[in-house]
């Protein structure tokens, strides 16, 4: 009886603790920084890059662990230049990098002491890529988030298997709690040996959504080691206690063009949406279906209008270089942001909810109307009160507005039309 009530009490205490996550002041400041900066670079890079067929190649080609391990001796990215990668991100106007420290194949891109399945011990390259990148990010003043897969196709204790990784030919059996200890130990290495980490971007919980992941333990360890680190997870569900931002994959928040976003709803945390430049996350040599610079800029603007960050992916080649199609688009985005960044950075979603023609963003005393798909010379907005002035951004040519019952009309000057984004800056009474 006494034992029972003790167990009950402990369980209760556990759940109360989980419910009562209070982000530290540094964490709240980091959330604000995150929302103010809006644009990040996602990087998918690992031994899978060798085959040029995406990061799911082990699963898709039904490779066993033994077969897949043979890729590591071929991964020798001699041309990896972290300074050039970080400079590329900065030239695109990106303010942070989210790097795959471990993807579903379990391969660690840093010197881990937990196994030999890592870049230092298993490849001829032998250098700690996470360390090189972290140092360069610090040098160039860009924040580093760590992508980390909870799903692991390589570790024998990731058992029972979930929805994927069935051809890996591992011995059946294994202790899932032992796997979680391994994962937490690896995360501890990452959060103690690589300087300030802006956040951890978890992925793969969707593989076994109803297993007991002991999230509270992992999340509170991260927050104890680095209180400002933002925790987020790509589980496609409403945020769990201990998470600091909410992410969407290949969809603007709340949209459901992807099957796996079927039930996602928007919570109250900072938002981020991620997407690819072609269709692939990890390097895919055959995928030449590149989005245009215009599409990518418009996606960034739509995300900002939805009050969300945009995390745009590149999949570098196995030799460490980045294909010119990616570089070209990133440079175009950077050039656009150099002119128009004031209407994106430091803003929040604006007073007019996203429309087919475009979106609005806002900051102190300003509303920016982003016309992406120009409907007509006259744009009818739901009525906005307190407009003190209106002009084109940039340039400042005067824009006429008129208040009519139930609407604010904005007349876009003939000749002002910008095929990417025609921006009208409104001065607002505060
Ligand atoms: C995940 C990864 O699987 C993918 O490799 C990439 O890293 C991306 C950013 O995140 O993508 C998913 C996650 C879940 C599903 C599909 C793709 N799902 O639930 O079908």
Confidence (pTM): 0.94
CB-ligand 1 contact for 249 (6 Å cutoff): yes
CB-ligand 1 contact for 276 (6 Å cutoff): no
Q: What is the mean pLDDT of residues 275-292?
A: 98
Of 247, 260, 272, 311, the residue with max ligand 1 atoms within 8 A of its CB, to mutate for a pocket test, comes to: 260
Both tokens of 27, joined, read 């964490």
Compute the distance from residue 375 Cα to the ligand 1 centre, in Å: 35
> How many Å apart are CA 359 and CA 298, to the nearest integer?
10
> How many Å apart are CA 385 and CA 270, to the nearest integer?
27
Point out the least confidently predicted range of 116-125, 200-209, 258-267.
Answer: 258-267
Residue 260: pLDDT over 90: no
pLDDT for residue 422: 97
pLDDT for residue 15: 47
CB-ligand 1 contact for 272 (6 Å cutoff): no
Nearest protein CA to atom 14 of ligand 1, as residue: 206
CB-ligand 1 contact for 260 (6 Å cutoff): yes
pLDDT, tens digit (0-9, with 9 covering 90-100), for 212-241: 999 999 999 999 999 999 999 999 888 999
Q: Backbone dihedral region of 334: left (phi > 0), alpha (psi from -120 to 50 degrees) or beta?
A: alpha
CB-ligand 1 contact for 55 (6 Å cutoff): yes
pLDDT, tens digit (0-9, with 9 covering 90-100), for 342-367: 999 999 999 999 999 999 999 999 99
Give the chain's length: 430
pLDDT, tens digit (0-9, with 9 covering 90-100), for 34-75: 999 999 999 999 999 999 999 999 999 999 999 999 999 999
Compute the distance from residue 235 Cα to the ligand 1 centre, in Å: 9
Higher pLDDT, 267 or 86: 86
From the list 142, 138, 177, 135, the residue with the least C-alpha distance to 157 is 177
> How many Å apart are CA 370 and CA 361, to the nearest integer?
8
pLDDT for residue 112: 98
Of 104, 148, 149, 203, the residue with max ligand 1 atoms within 8 A of its CB, to mutate for a pocket test, comes to: 203
b/e per residue 334-346 (b: at least 16 CB within 10 A) = bebbeebebbbbe
pLDDT for residue 265: 73
Compute the distance from residue 389 Cα to the ligand 1 centre, in Å: 45
Residue 326: pLDDT over 70: yes
């Amino acid at each position: 009886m006494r034992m029972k009530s003790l167990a009950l009490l402990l369980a209760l205490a556990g759940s109360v603790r989980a419910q009562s996550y209070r982000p530290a002041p540094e964490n709240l400041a980091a959330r604000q920084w995150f929302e103010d900066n809006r644009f990040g670079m996602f990087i998918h890079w690992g031994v899978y890059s060798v085959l040029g067929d995406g990061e799911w190649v082990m699963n898709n080609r039904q490779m066993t662990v033994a077969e897949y391990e043979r890729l590591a001796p071929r991964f020798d990215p001699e041309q990896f230049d972290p300074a050039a990668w970080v400079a590329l991100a900065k030239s695109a106007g990106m303010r942070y990098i989210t790097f795959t420290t471990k993807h579903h194949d379990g391969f660690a891109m840093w010197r881990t002491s937990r196994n030999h399945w890592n870049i230092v011990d298993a490849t001829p390259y032998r250098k700690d890529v996470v360390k090189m990148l972290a140092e360069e990010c610090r040098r160039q003043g860009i924040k580093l988030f760590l992508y980390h897969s909870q799903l692991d196709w390589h570790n024998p204790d990731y058992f029972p298997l979930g929805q994927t990784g069935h051809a890996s030919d591992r011995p059946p059996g294994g202790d899932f709690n032992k796997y979680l200890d391994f994962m937490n130990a690896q995360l501890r290495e990452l959060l103690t040996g690589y300087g300030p980490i802006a956040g951890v971007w978890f992925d793969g919980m969707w593989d076994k959504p109803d297993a007991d992941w002991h999230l509270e333990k992992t999340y509170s360890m991260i927050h104890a080691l680095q209180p400002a680190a933002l925790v987020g997870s790509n589980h496609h569900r409403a945020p769990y206690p201990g998470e600091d931002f909410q992410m969407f994959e290949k969809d603007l928040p709340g949209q459901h063009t992807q099957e796996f976003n079927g039930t996602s709803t928007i919570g109250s945390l900072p938002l981020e949406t991620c997407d690819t430049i072609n269709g692939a996350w990890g390097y895919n040599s055959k995928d030449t279906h590149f989005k245009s610079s215009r599409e990518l800029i418009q996606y960034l603007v739509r995300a900002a209008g939805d009050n969300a960050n945009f995390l745009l992916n590149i999949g570098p080649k196995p030799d460490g270089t980045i294909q010119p199609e990616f570089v070209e688009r990133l440079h175009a985005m950077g050039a656009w942001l150099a002119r128009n960044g004031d209407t994106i950075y430091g803003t929040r979603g604006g007073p007019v909810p996203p429309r087919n023609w475009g979106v609005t963003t806002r900051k102190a005393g300003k509303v920016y109307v982003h016309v992406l798909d120009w409907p007509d010379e006259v744009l009818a907005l739901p009525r906005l009160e307190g407009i003190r002035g209106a002009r084109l951004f940039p340039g400042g040519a005067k824009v006429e507005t008129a208040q009519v019952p139930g609407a604010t009309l904005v007349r876009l000057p003939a000749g002002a039309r910008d095929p990417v984004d025609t921006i009208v800056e409104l001065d607002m009474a505060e």
